[in-house]
Amino acid sequence: MDIHKNARLTLLSREALALYVLQQGFTRKAAAAAFRVSARTAGKWVFRYQSDGMAGLLDRSSRPRSSPSRLAGELTAQVIELRRGHMPGYQIARRTGLSPASVSRILRRARLSRWRDLNPPPPVLRYEHPRPGDLLHLDIKGMTRFGEVSLRGDGRLRGKKQHPGFLALHVAVDDHSRLAFTQILPDQKAHTTIGFLRDALAFFATHGVTVRSLLTDNGSSYRSQIFRQACAAMQLTHRRTRPYTPRTNGKAERFIQTALREWAYAKHWLNSAQRDLHLKPWNDFYNLKRPHGSLNYNSPISRIGNETTS
């Protein structure tokens, strides 16, 4: 039912007011006093009830019936067409003879005011391979090593002045089941990445999954010749995502977000070593027990059919 949020009278109250005048014979002024509205409001609802019945008691649009100063449709279409040709607003105003304010209003109504509106991002194409092992997503997230952090009385953290260095979180996620394998390693170099890949293949083999192809981003370790040779030796088809399109490797990207939220930043760790020790227990929980939204809130292991723990 279309009733204004600040309306004093509901639909039934408007009907009662109209009947108060039309059937009971009270004046509009008396009806207005009884229902605590103005005489003009009372007269409006009585007139609308007489002419349209219950349908006339609904709130109407506040838009005027006519707008003589509104621009013609052909001129509006011309402004929109020029804008879709990536023409700035001030040039459109000069070309059409309109004021910049009029052009701005047209573009705002058409939702073409910003440059990014002219090139909207392509729709996300979701995909899922039919069998476990058809595609393995690989990715690396840089992590900070830290230690000896204490809390001051004013709430600020205090730690070593010298930066203790970095680590690398290597992840491998099966496209079909979302089963994941992770390791914290000292760097992101090609030899380290190849060693992680071998461990990942062994992990998935324990669950009866034979990996057939890989999908990675364009990191230096994945583009290296020795990584390409290692994939060929392992009989793996290696594909890389298009540059600057992390959504293509979205399952690994999303897994990293989940790991950071539920493991790395879930609590205040005393040092990075303590944090890293909790990675494997959390990864086991993710694989065996944690409900996954894209799997109808089942755990990734439910799509493997093998309850063997890692």
Beta-bridge partners for 213? 237
- Tell me the β-bridge partners of 89: none
Give yes or no: residues 107 and 213 share one domain. Answer: no
Q: Note whether residue 310 is domain-resident.
A: no
Q: What is the mean pLDDT of residues 239-268?
A: 91
Domain shared by 107 and 185, yes or no: no
Answer yes or no: is pLDDT of 309 > 50.
no
pLDDT band at 116 (very low <50, low <70, confident <90, very high): confident
Whole-angstrom distance, CA of residue 226 vs CA of residue 170: 18
Residues 168 and 282 in one domain: yes
Q: Which position has the higher pLDDT, 305 or 177?
A: 177
Q: Are residues 178 and 286 in the same domain?
A: yes
Tell me, yes or no, whether 5 lies in a domain: no
CA distance 32 to 188: 79
CATH number at residue 189: 3.30.420.10
Assign 214 a pLDDT band (cuts: 50, 70, 90). Answer: very high
- Say yes or no: 48 and 169 in one domain: no
Q: Could you tell me the residue range of the domain that residue 18 belongs to?
A: 11-57
What is the sign of the dihedral through the CA atoms of 33, 37, 38 and 44?
Answer: negative
Question: 309 lies in a domain?
Answer: no
pLDDT, averaged across the chain: 87
Average pLDDT over residues 196-217: 96
Q: Tell whether 3 is covered by a domain.
A: no
Quick one: 51 and 97 in the same domain? Answer: no
Q: What is the pLDDT of residue 5?
A: 61
Give residue 155's pLDDT.
62
> At residue 111, does pLDDT exceed 60?
yes
What mean pLDDT is predicted for residues 230-240?
A: 96
Each residue of 31-63: pLDDT tens digit? 889 888 899 989 998 998 888 888 888 877 777
Q: Are residues 215 and 294 in the same domain?
A: yes
122-167 residue pLDDT tens: 777 788 999 999 999 999 999 998 876 555 667 666 655 566 789 9
Cα–Cα distance between 51 and 48 in angstroms, integer? Answer: 5
Q: Is residue 123 part of a domain?
A: no
Coil/strand/helix, residue 236? coil
- Report the domain count for the chain: 3
Which pLDDT belongs to residue 211? 96
Question: What pLDDT is attached to residue 153?
Answer: 63
Q: Do residues 204 and 166 share a domain?
A: yes
